[in-house]
């Protein structure tokens, strides 16, 4: 199943399950908006499908 043409928003994207979810959606063609209170992980560099934003969703 492909996700081409879909946009996915993932919070908690810098580590653990969030990071795995971002990578999986990107690998299947989705454009991913990744957000986390921490800095952008190295894993996102060079992937044109991932747009990272530092974000605190508690505010």
Tens place of pLDDT for every residue, the chain, 59 residues?
689 999 999 999 999 999 999 999 999 999 999 999 998 888 888 999 999 999 998 87
Residues 18 and 36 sit within 8 Å (Cβ to Cβ): yes
pTM: 0.88
Q: What is the pLDDT of residue 41?
A: 86
Rounded Cα distance between 21 and 24, Å, is 5
Give me the residue label for tokens 């996915």.
8
32, with CB counted inside 10 A (0-12, 13-18, 19+), is: buried
CA distances from 48 to 27, 32, 57, 58, 59 (A): 11, 9, 24, 28, 28
């Amino acid at each position: 199943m492909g996700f081409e043409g879909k946009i996915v928003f993932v919070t908690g994207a810098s580590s653990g399950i969030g990071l795995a979810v971002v990578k999986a959606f990107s690998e299947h063609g989705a454009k991913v908006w990744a957000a986390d209170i921490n800095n952008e992980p190295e894993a996102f560099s060079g992937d044109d499908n991932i747009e990272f934003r530092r974000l605190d969703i508690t505010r």
